[in-house]
């Protein structure tokens, strides 16, 4: 194993069987900050326009809009000026295409990378250990379906960004999209709502584990990486690329599909949590293995169906998909089974969207306990669930339950986000106000 570069307490190295990776040079205790990485480039998601500043991602009321397209919102003139090199790629195009302007977020982010690469010649502060051009593309592993998706993204890039971008040739664009697909990040808020997409090269250097020793959180468009387990000098630093709720086979299908590898972490080797995650109903005789297999297949199909349906079905139709599938899976699965929890979580999201607070709370109360068991001790999924519950309780005048839940969220977030994060200050303010 040889050293290829350092940045204070961490270094890039060749990890056996995993290619390059990140290694600690010093000891970190739980909650310690390992490093930060400013976004190389980023884009605010369309549905959050007006809620967050396009440039610094600050969430506030009364942002001022771009006078030309009236679609981008900023804190002040400085943020607007700062964003112009990126916003100009879309401003006039949005005016021309109007309601037909609909490039995917991947296309929007990739357009910004191309623009950035044209103007930024030297290495950025986001690339101390890994540069964007070094990103893995896994080009040779792409199947036809993935290649077709990339080609339609390239078509959209040409369609919506023709005026302002000089494009690399098609082969180079295929590589770039493939790189973005396996190295891009999504930025979420404290309730895990999607805020946007970004490229954080140094963060992308970390390999995956289902028992990660760090968590990535965001302060505006800055990524911060903190220890959630004790890390010793010489240890590899692992983050998780995926939602860790699911059983081992399911997790590995997701990893294989998006990142082209199988995980060999301790959790994947021992499958220690699989039994609890796949809890079946206690009946006179245990359900047959093929019954469970069929039900898992059904569950995974319905998850996919719901994911697609979200884009075009009404909330009440979506809630019906959730309820029907919970009813069917409930024949074989306990309420603590992760596939039941997945659909309850979706149902809770629909209830929140419909402002059915009691409905959301009912689902949330069923989810939180098994969630805490299935996820690692410090998990953003668990923290955000406590936070949602706490805010629901307080909104519904159940003050003492609300305070208890918000304190649970804070306890996790003080480790994952750091004690001085503005999210924690905001939650503490909510506690004081009630
Ligand atoms: Zn701003
Ligand atoms: Zn504009
Ligand atoms: Zn694993």
pLDDT of the chain, 434 residues: tens digit per residue: 444 444 689 999 999 999 999 999 999 999 999 999 999 999 999 999 999 999 999 999 999 999 999 999 999 999 999 999 999 999 999 999 999 999 999 999 999 999 999 998 899 999 999 999 999 999 999 999 999 999 999 999 999 999 889 999 999 999 999 999 999 999 999 999 999 999 999 999 999 999 999 999 999 999 999 999 999 999 999 999 999 999 999 999 999 999 999 999 999 999 999 999 999 998 878 888 899 999 999 999 999 999 999 999 999 999 999 999 999 999 999 999 999 999 999 999 999 999 999 999 999 999 999 999 999 999 999 999 999 999 999 999 999 999 999 999 999 999 999 999 999 999 999 999 87
164: nearest Cα among 88, 100, 235, 232: 88
CA distance 82 to 49: 17
Which of 199, 233, 263 is where one domain is finished? 199
Same domain for 418 and 350, yes or no, is: yes
Q: Does the residue 226 lie in any domain? A: no
- In this structure, the answer to whether residues 86 and 183 fall within a common structural domain is yes
Same domain, 385 and 268: yes
- 60 and 160 in a single domain? The answer is yes
Q: Which pLDDT score, from 0 to 100, does residue 5 have?
A: 46
Residue 87 lies in a domain: yes
Question: For the range 270-277, what are the long-range contacts, defined as Cβ-Cβ under 8 Å and sequence gap of 24 or more?
Answer: 271/247, 273/247, 273/374, 274/247, 274/248, 276/336, 276/373, 276/374, 277/245, 277/246, 277/247, 277/337, 277/338, 277/374
CA of 59 from ligand 1 middle (Å) equals: 9
Asked if residue 232 is part of any domain, the answer here is no
Residue 227 counted as domain residue: no
CA of 138 relative to ligand 3 center, distance in Å = 20
Q: Is residue 89 part of a domain?
A: yes
Q: Are residues 57 and 189 in the same domain?
A: yes
Residues 319 and 419 in one domain: yes
CA of 253 to the centre of ligand 3 (A): 11
Ligand 3 centroid – CA 203 distance (Å): 19
CA–CA separation, 85 and 115 (whole Å): 8
Tell me the sheet residues that pair with 197. Answer: 43, 186
Cα(333) to ligand 2 centroid in Å equals 50
**How far does the centroid of ligand 2 lie from the alpha carbon of residue 67, in Å?**
7
CATH classification of the domain holding 307 = 1.25.40.10
What integer pLDDT is reported at residue 176 of this predicted model?
A: 98
- Look up the domain containing 343 and give its range: 248-433
Are residues 304 and 161 part of one domain?
Answer: no
Give the model's pLDDT for residue 7: 62
229 part of a folded domain? no
Check whether residue 187 and residue 275 sit in a common domain. Answer: no
pLDDT at 388: 98
Distance 51 CA to ligand 2 centre (A): 16
Do 252 and 177 lie in a common domain?
no
Last residue of a domain, one of 177, 199, 221: 199
Measured in Å, residue 157 CA sits from the centre of ligand 1 at 26
Q: Which residues pair with 13 in a beta bridge?
A: 3, 21
Measure the CA–CA gap between 6 and 301, rounded to whole angstroms: 45
For position 56, which CATH number holds? 1.10.220.160
Residues 6+ apart with CB under 8 A from 89: 111, 112, 115, 161, 164, 165
Distance 93 CA to ligand 2 centre (A): 9
CA 211 to ligand 3 centroid distance, Å: 7
| pLDDT on residue 190 | 98
Question: What pLDDT does residue 1 have?
Answer: 42
Close Cβ partners of 148 (under 8 Å, ≥ 6 residues apart): none
**For the CA of 88, the nearest ligand:** 2
pLDDT of 109 reads: 98
Distance 159 CA to ligand 3 centre (A): 40
- Which residues are close to ligand 1, an ion, with C-beta < 5 A? 53, 55-56, 58, 75, 79
Evaluate whether 368 touches 335 at the Cβ level (below 8 Å).
Answer: no
The answer to whether residue 29 is domain-embedded is no
Residue 9 belongs to a domain: no
What's the pTM? 0.95
Residues 195 and 332 in one domain: no
Whole-angstrom distance, CA of residue 14 vs CA of residue 1: 5
Compute the distance from residue 55 Cα to the ligand 1 centre, in Å.
Answer: 5
Nearest ligand to the C-alpha atom of residue 44: 1
End-of-domain residue from the set 132, 166, 199 = 199
Same domain, yes or no: 181 and 279: no
Q: Cα of 331 to ligand 1 centre, how many Å?
A: 51
Q: State the total domains in the chain.
A: 2
For residue 239, the ligand closest to its alpha carbon is 3
């Amino acid at each position: 194993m040889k050293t290829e570069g350092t940045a204070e307490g961490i270094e890039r190295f060749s990890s056996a069987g995993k290619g390059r990776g990140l290694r600690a040079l010093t000891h970190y205790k739980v909650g310690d900050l390992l490093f930060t990485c400013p976004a190389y480039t980023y884009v605010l998601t369309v549905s959050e326009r007006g809620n967050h500043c396009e440039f610094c991602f600050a969430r506030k009321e009364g942002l001022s809009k771009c006078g030309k397209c009236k679609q981008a919102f900023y804190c002040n003139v400085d943020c607007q000026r700062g964003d112009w090199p990126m916003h100009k790629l879309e401003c006039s195009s949005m005016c021309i295409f109007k309601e037909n302007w609909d490039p995917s977020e991947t296309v929007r982010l990739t357009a910004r990378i191309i623009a950035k690469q044209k103007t930024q010649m030297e290495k950025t502060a986001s690339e101390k250990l890994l540069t964007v051009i070094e990103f893995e593309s896994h080009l040779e592993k792409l199947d036809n379906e993935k290649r077709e998706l990339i080609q339609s993204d390239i078509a959209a890039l040409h369609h919506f960004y023709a005026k302002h971008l000089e494009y690399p040739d098609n082969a180079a664009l295929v590589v770039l999209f493939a790189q973005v697909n396996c190295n891009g990040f999504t930025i979420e808020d404290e309730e895990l709502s999607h805020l946007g997409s970004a490229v954080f090269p140094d963060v992308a250097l970390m390999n995956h584990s289902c028992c990660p020793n760090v968590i990535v959180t965001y302060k505006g468009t800055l990524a911060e990486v903190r220890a959630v387990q004790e890390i010793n000098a010489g240890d590899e630093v692992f983050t998780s690329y995926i939602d860790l709720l699911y059983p081992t086979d399911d997790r590995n299908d997701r990893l294989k599909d998006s990142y082209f590898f199988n995980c060999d972490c301790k959790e994947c080797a021992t499958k220690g949590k699989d039994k609890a995650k796949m809890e079946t109903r206690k009946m006179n005789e245990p359900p047959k293995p093929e019954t469970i297999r069929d039900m898992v297949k059904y569950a995974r199909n319905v998850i996919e169906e719901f994911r697609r349906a979200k884009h075009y079905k009404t909330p009440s139709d979506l809630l019906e998909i959730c309820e029907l599938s919970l009813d069917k899976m409930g024949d074989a699965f306990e309420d603590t089974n992760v596939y039941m929890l997945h659909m309850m979580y979706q149902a809770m999201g629909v209830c929140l969207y419909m402002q059915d607070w009691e409905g959301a709370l009912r689902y949330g109360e069923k989810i939180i306990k098994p969630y805490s068991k299935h996820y690692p001790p410090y998990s953003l999924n668990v923290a955000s669930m406590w936070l949602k519950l706490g805010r629901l309780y307080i909104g519904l005048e159940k003050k003492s339950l609300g305070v208890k839940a918000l304190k649970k969220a804070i306890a996790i977030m003080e480790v994952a986000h750091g004690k001085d994060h503005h999210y924690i200050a905001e939650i503490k303010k909510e506690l004081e106000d009630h």
